[in-house]
Every structure is written in C-alpha cells, then in structure tokens.
Amino acid sequence: MAKVKIFSTATCPICDKTKNLFQKWGINYIEARVDQDREELKEMLSVTNGARTVPQILIEGKWIGSFTDLTELHMDGKLDKLMESN
C-alpha cells in the first residue's frame, strides 16, 4: 500500500476528519504536526508550493492537496489507483 503523510495541527477539525476518513478506509498514514515540528512545516511549505492551510496530504511523496481534494479523488474513483503499491 502507498505511503500517506498528513500535515496537520492540534487544533484543526478538518485534520481530524481527514485522519478519521483514512482510518475508516483502512489506510495507514503518518501524521506530521507542523505546529510542533519546524522541519515538518518546512517540508510542507516546500512540497505544496507554500500552502498555509492544513491538512495537506502526500501519497507516495506526491502532493494531492487538502481534504477537499482527497474526497474528490475518492468520489472520482481515483484514490484506489493512487493507493496501489508501487
């Protein structure tokens, strides 16, 4: 299964919603708390071209966007393809 990374903060309800969706779908993820780790914040800013909102989601190191982008991928049937192992 593909590696998923979620950039989040402690006070973000949409981050919690995103993590709950991944859990519901049985998809493991790594949470990177940008409010606690400056290196994770630097990485998020770098891979997202400066996005300032969370959550931001990477699948296999590729930035797919935010919660809205994730749900659109799922609804369009494209998430399963992204989650296949390489």
What average pLDDT does the structure give for the chain? Answer: 94
Confidence of residue 86 (pLDDT cuts 50, 70, 90): low
Burial of 57 (0-12, 13-18, 19+ CB in 10 A): buried
Q: Is a pLDDT exceeding 90 seen at residue 59?
A: yes
**For the chain, what percent of residues have pLDDT higher than 70?**
98
Alpha helices per DSSP H over the chain: 13-24, 38-47, 67-75, 79-83
Q: Is a pLDDT exceeding 60 seen at residue 6?
A: yes
Give domain limits for the chain: 4-83
For the domain 4-83, what is the CATH code? 3.40.30.10
